[in-house]
Chains A and B, each alone.
Chain A
């Protein structure tokens, strides 16, 4: 079956530091890959996505590249801000309509001044 593995948190960084959150996946076929962000007490917001190999998703300074050869979709940001403090979920969705999202366990990011 499908699965997603994320690096354990929490990740604590100083403002303007470089961020990497690792995500690897196991899936049959060619899934779509997503990063969702969840701020305290809120629902999930789609941060970025990639639907095929070598696609790069980007949004708000965050980037992730769909690497089929390493089955990875690592999230990066060059300079984090305090407002980026949240929980980040990597997820995949198999091909086919209404196929379910498989989430990683989430990584909590705490950015300090």
Chain B
């Protein structure tokens, strides 16, 4: 089945140790999004790619970076994770930005 896949589902890292989260899709959608969702809150958009064009939200910390090497894959890099970065990270895709399809999320724990 076509879907959005996130790996790993659970990631534990140490304070300040870089970590990379992965998202892949078989939907061939143009747009890919990364959201951060903290406990009992709504998802917060970090950035998105429309094809190869990167769009950063104004309040996304510099600590968060992203790469999209091809249509199918998108990565979220956290350069120096702090305790406040512990959250669920959600990837979503969209055909031309009309409707978004979410992956299962990666829960990040920072020790």
Contacts and interface: CB of A to CB of B under 8 A. Distances in A.
B105 A98 contact: no
Contacts, number: 59
Given A43-B103, A44-B102, A98-B96, A106 B50 contact: no
Interface centre among B4, B57, B94 (most CB of A within 10 A): B94
A46 B42 contact: no
Interface residues of B, number: 26
Given A98-B31, A98-B48, A98-B55, A44 B43 contact: yes
A76 B95 CA distance: 28
Given A43-B102, A98-B50, A106 B31 contact: no
B99 interface: yes
Contacts of A41: 105, 107
A100 B45 contact: yes
Contact of B96 (A45, A46, A49, A97): A97
A42 B105 contact: yes
Contacts of A43: 4, 6, 90, 102-105
Interface string A88-113: 01000100111111011110000000
A33 to B, nearest CB: 11
Interface of B: 4, 6, 31, 40-43, 45, 48, 50, 55, 57, 90, 92, 94, 96-105, 107
